[in-house]
Structure 1
Amino acid sequence: MHTEPTAQATATTHPAPTDPACDALDGGPATELCAPRRGRPRSEAAEQAIFAAVEELMEAGRSLSDLSVERIAAAAGVGKATIYRRWPNKEALLVDVVARLEAPAPVRTSTDGSVRDELIAMVEYMRQRGLAKRSRWMLKSALSQMNSWPELREAYQEQVVRPRRAMARAIVRRGVEEGVLRSDLDIELLCEIVIGPILLRTVLWDEAPLEDPGLPEQMVDAVLNGVAAPPPDGRSR
């Protein structure tokens, strides 16, 4: 029988498998995903062993669909009950694992910084995520496998992608309220205008350059300042 590893780590309440983007949510269905799960205190050592087991199984060539709770528990040296105390099902566990492989999302702890700085941080996060997907084959493999596993893809969208999109909307909405961004355009359209260029490079164009750390600032400033050339006579349009 497998036993749960002992650890001296301080027991903590494990948050739902989202990211700090939840700080930006202002209510709605996604807010529930950001609330701490109720239940028994966690063993950090057991949790790390479970994460490591999933990654090792993936490195050994196992597909996500092959990773049963029984197989993960055996590889981690814990009982199945240890896993189910932390995650309601396999999909929730795998979403957590994939999110750990990605670059950490920016934290919105306050609105003290400028809208420009927050937009740059968001684009920089997406640049780092794109670099991680290129350099970590496990992440790229996991994300591609989600397309053939509807339940896992939906769980990932609900618990990771949508809260991050909510954060982008919150930043853009703040920009409109402060007069930094135009108020006559739909919020979703503004988000697409700001985030679209980096999404193009990280999702559609696998070989597009991402190495330049100044790229997020350049992209954001191009949006904020406009890309139209001044008229030849120097007068405003």
Structure 2
Amino acid sequence: MKAAEDGGSARGPRAGAPAPARRGRPRSAAAGSAIVEAVLRLIEDGVPIGELSIERIAREAGVGKATLYRRWSGKSALLLDVMRSLDAPDPPLLGRSVREDLVALLEFWRHRGLAKRSSAVLRTVVSHVEAQPELWTEYHETVVRARHEALIGVLRRGMATGEVRTDQDLETLADLFVGPMLARALLREWRELPEGFAEAIVDTVLEGVRPRPALPDAKAG
């Protein structure tokens, strides 16, 4: 009877009593950022992927190994988020002309390539992530595909407005615009991406993909 008189304390906490604390500690956004930053610093310092152990990353970030494993299944998943951390929104495309939008896209990629941090990470990490098919597919679907579709959309609009010839495959045309930038990025380590490079690519390729005037019929006349 005593328990009942005291407000039923045998059945649960009294009204107004604080709820029992949940087990486990919530994930710290600061810890996650510190871990990603630690990986970026190590890569910038030239540490090879093979030497980026979970133990070394945790030590650099000032956290325990368990903190990493609570967030990522392993090093490859962590590297995928490191790549994503460098991503930035695509530039706005005004739609006034195909040339203007193409230059905006390529200039955005050029500036990304000039950033020491972005270029160092991409050179170091891309080959590792590509060797992990599931991770590469995820990165492609969440980052690469959106940029590719933006480029395809501009070229498709160019075909509709008569600024781009319609007798060529869209994917091939997209490769013609992106190819020079990627070639310098992968083969020359982002060293030669000068001012005006985006415009030079766009103008050179557009010269070749503009619709050609119809030739006069030889039988006419």
Which category of TM-score, normalised to the shorter sequence, fits these structures?
0.5 to 0.7
1:62 to 1:153, Cα distance in 2 relative to 1, 3 A: farther
Match of 1:171 in 2: 154
Q: Contact 2:91–2:108 (CA<8 Å) still a contact in 1?
A: no
Alignment size in residue pairs: 187
Q: Contact 2:44–2:121 (CA<8 Å) still a contact in 1?
A: yes
2:207 to 225, 233, 237: 225
TM-score by length of 1: 0.58
Q: Contact 2:113–2:185 (CA<8 Å) still a contact in 1?
A: yes
TM-score by length of 2: 0.62
Q: Structure 1 residue 55 and structure 2 residue 40: aligned?
A: yes
Larger relative contact order (Cα-Cα within 8 Å, sequence gap ≥ 6): 1
One-letter amino acid of the structure 1 residue matched with residue 106 of structure 2: V
Structure whose alpha-carbon radius of gyration is higher? 2
Q: Tell me how far apart the structure 2 counterparts of residues 197 and 43 of structure 1 sit (CA, whole Å).
A: 42
Match of 1:64 in 2: 49
Q: Structure 1 residue 141 and structure 2 residue 128: aligned?
A: no
Q: Structure 1 residue 125 and structure 2 residue 118: aligned?
A: no
Q: CA deviation at 1:226?
A: 3.5
Task: Compare 67-76 and 179-188 and name the one that shifted more.
Answer: 67-76
One-letter amino acid of the structure 2 residue matched with residue 171 of structure 1: V
Q: Tell me how far apart the structure 2 counterparts of residues 199 and 147 of structure 1 sit (CA, whole Å).
A: 16
State the Cα RMSD in Å.
Answer: 3.9
Which ranges of structure 2 fall in alignment gaps of 5 or more residues? 1-25, 217-221
Match of 1:198 in 2: 181
Q: Contact 2:38–2:61 (CA<8 Å) still a contact in 1?
A: yes
One-letter amino acid of the structure 1 residue matched with residue 186 of structure 2: V
One-letter amino acid of the structure 2 residue matched with residue 140 of structure 1: R
Which ranges of structure 1 fall in alignment gaps of 5 or more residues? 1-40, 229-235
Match of 1:107 in 2: 91
Task: Compare 46-55 and 202-211 and name the one that shifted more.
Answer: 202-211
Superimposed CA distance per residue, residues 89-126 of structure 1 (whole angstroms, 9 cap, x where no aligned partner): 54333123134457x45234x65443222210221123
Q: Tell me how far apart the structure 1 counterparts of residues 109 and 117 of structure 2 sit (CA, whole Å).
A: 12
Identity, % of aligned pairs?
45
